[in-house]
Amino acid sequence: MFRRLFLATVWLAVSAMAQQPSLSTIQDVLYKADGSRFNGTLTITWNSFQPIGSTAIVAQGTTSATVMNGYLQVQLVPSTAAIPVATYTVTYTSNGRSQFQEIWAVPASTVPLRVAQVRIGSSAVNSSSSGNAASDTSGSGPFPESDIVGLIADLGARPVKGPNFAAGSVAMVDGSGLLAAVTGNASDCVHVDGSTGPCGSASLGFMDGDTLAGLVDGSNKSFGLSAVPSPATSLAVYRNGVLQKVAQDYSLSGSTVQFVTVSTPQPGDTLLASYRTAGSSSTAPSTTSPQVLCSGGGSTTSSTTLATLGTCSIAAGVLLAGDRVQIRFDMAHQNAAGGFSLELHWGGTTVVHRDATASETLVSGAADGAILSSGAQTSSQTWGSVLAFSVTAGLASDSYASGLTVSLVGSVVQGSDSVMLNNFTVVRIP
């Protein structure tokens, strides 16, 4: 009796041990796409199966594993040799929402396994209207971008196509950070700023402080540049120091600037331009033809003290050492009650002073200013219908770096007379 009881006890113990399935350990460190460690929960579900070599039945169920600072450790019954072959569905949850699912097939192992050794498929998780998670175990999608961890941020860090993007063209990143197509001729070279121009060894030049040539009389609207801007968009036109707007104030055709009617330059205005040119290696204003700085008629005075009849303001940066400025003027005297006087001023230096008699009716003159590294050497010639021919030569110490004014002044002895500046022209010869 005792022997039968002992054998029954041993058989029950052995039978119980045979029913206990072995476990495999999955141990790993999990990371997100941005390199930070994953924190969240893994929910693991399975259907019923029988482990190989065991009579025990693993009932359908669910378990969870908490992942902190990326560390994962969980033990599961091997499923790869189960009857029937079984898998585990693993749902990753982080920040209160399900991120994606994986399918695990766990082999028998006496050493810890990595996730990559048990993963056989993955998919995104879509939430239904009832709030339950539904998985696409085929991995075919489609999946919302917001469900892919880090995807939207990664896409946002990449430049996207802008409205000026075109297939078959060289791409550039425009000022708004969008991809745009480079425009130009097929034979052009592309510069680092996305502009294009003819290829060759000639370097890009700059024209700074270029004075527009043309009659500033209040009606003339057409003025010439010393060279053709390249590209045309590099042109900046200034009227009395105020930047003019293309299309609103002027248009450009080649080297001709055409002002619109409401922006017509008026007598006394100073017109300057800066722009880039092709095929020039000079960084200073470089012109190959004379420039008319000022031209037009002057005013009339009956003052018995010197009064201004006409001025030409030469802007800063226009004159360079080696340039020459030529000045021509013609004056008239009306009535004959007394004589009159005239002067030509180069800045604060008087280059010409002539006193004419009452019988003098017309006086003409010419003066030169040879631009030195500092100041200028001046010369002049004057004559009249009665006035004797006269010449002068001298030095003017006036600085031209910040700009300089050429002026013509006159006065009469008797207030019933008048002296008039009929015409004057100031020309710069580079």
Q: From residue 354, how far is each of 92, 325, 337 by CA, in Å?
A: 101, 21, 18
Confirm if 137 and 120 have CB atoms less than 8 A apart. no
Q: Percent of the chain at pLDDT above 70?
A: 86
> What is the DSSP code (8-state) at residue 49?
B
Q: Percent of the chain at pLDDT above 90?
A: 51
User: Both tokens of residue 373?
Assistant: 């590294």
Q: Provide the pLDDT for residue 135.
A: 38
Please give the model's pTM, rounded to 2 decimal places: 0.39
**Mean of the per-residue pLDDT values of the chain:** 84
Q: Provide the pLDDT for residue 46.
A: 92
Beta strands in 137-277 (DSSP E): 171-173, 179-181, 188-190, 196-198, 205-211, 222-224, 236-239, 242-243, 250-253, 256-259, 271-277
**pLDDT bracket for residue 330 (50, 70, 90):** very high
CB neighbours of residue 277 within 10 Å: 22
pLDDT in tens, 112-132: 999 999 998 766 655 443 333
pLDDT at 250 over 90: yes
Domains of the chain plus CATH, in order, are: 19-153 (2.60.40), 159-200 (no CATH), 205-277 (2.60.40), 291-429 (2.60.120)
List 301's β-bridge partners, or say none: 419
